[in-house]
Amino acid sequence: MLPAILVITILGGLFGLGLGWASRRFQVESDPVIDQIEAILPQTQCGQCNYPGCRPYAEAIANGEADINQCAPGGEAGIIALADLLAVEPKSLNPANGEEKPKALAVIDEMVCIGCTLCIQACPVDAILGASKYMHTVIDSECTGCELCLPPCPVDCIDMVVKDQGTGDWKWPKPQVIAMNLHENHP
C-alpha cells in the first residue's frame, strides 16, 4: 500500500515539474489581450461605444469595465469575434450604442458648404480636406463612416451615402444550404 502511494506521489511530482518546464520552454509569444481586442475592432473611432476611440474601448473591455456588445460598426461579426477571443458568450448589439448599418461614406454638399472647418476639426482620422473659407471635401478612401462630422456642421450639408452594390463591389454569395439545418429547421 505504502510503496504504491509513494510511487504515485513521486510520479505526480515528476510530471508536474515536467509540465511546468514545458510550459515555460514551449510558451507561445502572444500579443497582450488589449492589442488582440483592438485588432478585431473596426478602427472607425466613432465613439458610439461611449469611449473616445477604439483603443480606449479595447482597454475598457480588457479591464472588464465595458461589455463586448457596444461596437455598432463592428456589428455582429465583431461581437462574435470578441466573444471567441475572450471565451465568453456572444450577445446581440446593445441598441443604446447604435445599430448595425451598411458602411456609408460622408459626402459634403458643395453647394451648401460655408468653409467653417468645424467638420475638419471633428474628423478623427483627418479625412476631410479643406481650409477656412475654402471648399471642404471628404476623401472617400479615408472616411470610416463614423458620422462625427455631422453634428458640428452649422448648415447641415453632410450626408451619409451608402455605396451602391455595383458589379465592382459584388461578391459571390454564401451557398444556400438546402438540407435541414440543425439550427434552422422547425417542422
Partner 1 sequence: MTQIDRLTQARQAGEQLHHFHGGLRLRHNKKISCELPLEPMPLPPRFYVPLLQHSGPEAKANVSIGQTVLKGERIGLGSHPGRGCIHAPTSGTVKALARRAISHPSGLEGLCVVIEPDGLDQWKKLEPIGDWNNAPPSELRQKISDSGIVGLGGAVFPTSVKVEEASEKGIHTLILNGSECEPYISCDEMLMREQPDSIILGARILQRAVGANRTIIAIEDQMGAVNQALMAAVTESGAGDIDIVTVTTIYPEGGEKQLIQVLTGLEVPSGGRPSDLGLLCQNVATATAVARAVVEGKPLIERIVTVTGNGISKPRNLLARIGTPIECLIDQCGGYTENAARLILGGPMMGYALDSDSNPVIKAANCILVLSDFDIRPPQAEMPCIRCGECARVCPALLLPQQLHWQISNQQWDETAKYGLSDCIECGCCDFVCPSHIPLVEWFRFGQDQLRSLATDRKQAEEAKQKFEAREARLARTKLERKQRMDEKKRALRDEAERKRKLAEAVDRSRSRQDKEA
Partner 2 sequence: MSRKFATGGAPHFPPHATISGVMRQVLLALVPGIVAYTWFFGPGILIQILLAVIFALGFETLMLKVRKQDLRLFLGDWSAVVTAVLFALCLPPLAPWWIALIGMLFAIVLAKHLYGGLGQNLFNPAMVAYVVVLISFPQVMALWLPPTSLAGQSLSLGETLTTIFSGHLPAHLSWDTISEATPLDAIRASLATGQMVSEARMSPVFGNFGGLGWEWIANFYALGGLWLLWRRIISWHVPFMMIGSVVGLGLVGYLADPGSNPVPLQHVFSGALILGAFFIATDPVTGCASTRGRLIFGAGVGILTLVIRRWGAYPDGVAFAVLLMNMAAPLIDRYTRPRIFGQ
Residues that bind partner 1 (CB under 8 A): 38, 41-45, 53-54, 77, 80, 124-127, 142, 144, 165-168, 170-175, 177-179
User: Which residue, 23 or 141, is less far from partner 1 as judged by CB?
Assistant: 141
| CB nearer to partner 1: pick between 40 and 108 | 40
> Which CB atom, from 25 or from 186, has the smaller least distance to partner 2?
186
Of partner 1, partner 2, none, which one sits near residue 45, judging by CB under 5 to 8 A according to partner kind? partner 1
Report, in Å, the least distance between residue 183 CB and partner 2.
Answer: 10
Site residues (CB under 8 A) for partner 2?
175, 179-180, 182, 185-187
Alpha helices in 30-93 (DSSP H): 33-40, 54-63, 75-86
Of 146, 145, 143, 160, nearest in space to 109 by CA: 160
Rounded to whole angstroms, the maximal C-alpha distance in the chain is: 94
**Nearer to partner 1 among residue 41 and residue 153 (C-beta):** 41
Counted residue by residue, the chain has a size of 187
Beta carbons of 17 and 30 less than 8 angstroms apart: no
Please say which residue, 7 or 77, places its beta carbon nearer to partner 1.
77
C-alpha torsion 184→91→45→159, nearest 10: 50
Q: Cβ 176 to partner 2, closest distance in Å?
A: 9
Q: Choose the one of partner 2, partner 1, none that binds residue 70, judging by a C-beta under 5 to 8 angstroms depending on kind.
A: none
Nearest-CA neighbor of 82 among 119, 117, 38? 38
Q: N- to C-terminal Cα distance for the chain?
A: 60
Please, what is the minimum distance in Å from the beta carbon of residue 62 to partner 1?
A: 17
Least separation in angstroms between residue 48's CB and partner 1 is 15
> Is residue 110 within 8 Å of 129, Cβ to Cβ?
no
44 burial (CB, 10 Å; 0-12 / 13-18 / 19+) is buried
Instruction: Give the shortest CB-54-to-partner 1 separation in angstroms.
Output: 7
Q: Could you say which of partner 2, partner 1, none residue 26 binds, taking C-beta under 5 to 8 angstroms by partner kind?
A: none
